[in-house]
Amino acid sequence: MASLMDETSAEPTDDNVGIPSDAAADTAPIDPESERHQLTAQIGEWARSLVLEPDDLVLKVMVDEALRIIPGADYASLSIVSRDDLIRSRAPSAMVPERLDALQSELHEGPCFDSIREHRIVRVPDLTEPTPWPRFASSAVAEGVRSMLAFQLFVEVDSLGALNLYSKTPRAFDQESEDIGSGVAAHASLALANAQKQGQLYEAVASRDLIGQAKGILMERHKISEHEAFLLLTKVSSKTNTKLREVAEEFVSTGALPGTVTD
């Protein structure tokens, strides 16, 4: 993918792409291709381990893993597109990325915002140099951030958000950072999409069970059929302009239907 960066200010890219190894001091040479395959396998295993975790833990693990293996990052966070199409900062590693994520959402400008909206990787070598986001850049520099790297989290036609990396050092991110980060972002996208689908599934199951409880109480109380109980719930929902699940929840917890008086 293309990067947003000033070609004249780009640092030379290291020929060896991969995570620095603790074994670098060994005399045996390290095969970069073998190291790359090993890293890819590790990222894939990490993503698979997230499948059954709750949403909040999934997000935190994503951020922790990005900080651990992507060279150059001092802070990391996720900007997640919510169901109301707002962009919210999630699982920030510190207050700095949380504030800067919120600022980008407020200003509708910045590397993370562009990454989410335009399906790309955005690399910013130095925020003190001219950028397309002057208001955001000045605030980021005031927070001590000098360079950034953002990856869109993308599955099929859905932009889920962005993985945001911040550094206190100018030109902290290079091609190695992009290569490794791209792998993390690709697997994180799948894990996040799965977590969201699981959350929606659990919500749907919970709604169905709650409505079933409400129908059962109405059937017992009024000696009516299941169909009649359901029609009563939907009638109250329509009359009070309240979601069916909320009508059922209130009835189960209080014994009274919204807009009615208990016997």
pLDDT at 3: 42
Overall domain count for the chain = 2
Q: Are residues 185 and 213 in the same domain?
A: no
Tell me the pLDDT band of 204, cut-offs 50, 70 and 90: low
Q: Are residues 185 and 210 in the same domain?
A: no
pLDDT at 111: 95
Question: What distance in Å separates the CA atoms of residue 59 and residue 80, rounded to the nearest whole number?
Answer: 10
3-state secondary structure of 132: coil
Q: Are residues 115 and 209 in the same domain?
A: no
Q: Are residues 105 and 150 in the same domain?
A: yes
Question: What distance in Å separates the CA atoms of residue 179 and residue 56, rounded to the nearest whole number?
Answer: 26
Note whether residue 16 is domain-resident: no
Note whether residue 78 is domain-resident: yes
Question: What distance in Å separates the CA atoms of residue 74 and residue 87, rounded to the nearest whole number?
Answer: 22
Asked whether the predicted pLDDT for residue 176 surpasses 90, the reply is: yes
107-164: pLDDT as tens digits: 999 999 999 888 789 999 999 999 999 999 999 999 999 999 999 998 766 778 899 9
Note whether residue 110 is domain-resident: yes
Strands 87-90 and 147-155: unpaired
pLDDT at 126: 98
Asked whether the predicted pLDDT for residue 25 surpasses 50, the reply is: no
Residue 72 Cα distances to 10, 125, 150, 178, angstroms: 15, 11, 13, 10
Question: What distance in Å separates the CA atoms of residue 103 and residue 97, rounded to the nearest whole number?
Answer: 10
Note whether residue 18 is domain-resident: no
Question: What distance in Å separates the CA atoms of residue 173 and residue 72, rounded to the nearest whole number?
Answer: 5
Domain carrying residue 226: 201-254
Strands 75-81 and 158-167: antiparallel
Output 41 or 78, whichever has higher pLDDT: 78
Q: Give the CA angle between residues 173, 99, 59 to the nearest 5°.
A: 70
% of residues, the chain, pLDDT over 90: 37
59-105: pLDDT as tens digits: 787 888 899 999 999 999 998 887 667 788 888 999 999 999 999 98
Q: Which of 192, 226, 244 is the last residue of a domain?
A: 192
Q: Are residues 46 and 96 in the same domain?
A: yes
Q: Are residues 183 and 226 in the same domain?
A: no
Q: Are residues 90 and 181 in the same domain?
A: yes
Selection from 39-48, 113-122, 139-148, 177-186 with the highest mean pLDDT: 139-148
Q: Which of 144, 174, 192 is the last residue of a domain?
A: 192
Note whether residue 231 is domain-resident: yes
Of 159, 203, 202, 154, the closest CA to residue 182 belongs to 154
pLDDT at 8: 31
Of 105, 218, 230, 84, the closest CA to residue 164 belongs to 105
Report the chain's terminal Cα–Cα distance, integer Å. Answer: 65
CATH number at residue 124: 3.30.450.40
Note whether residue 259 is domain-resident: no
Q: Are residues 65 and 48 in the same domain?
A: yes
Note whether residue 20 is domain-resident: no
- CB atoms near residue 94 (< 10 Å): 12
Of 145, 41, 131, 45, the closest CA to residue 92 belongs to 145
Q: Which of 171, 192, 213 is the last residue of a domain?
A: 192
CATH number at residue 208: 1.10.10.10
Q: Are residues 101 and 129 in the same domain?
A: yes
Q: Are residues 58 and 173 in the same domain?
A: yes
Q: Are residues 205 and 185 in the same domain?
A: no
Note whether residue 234 is domain-resident: yes
Q: Are residues 161 and 220 in the same domain?
A: no
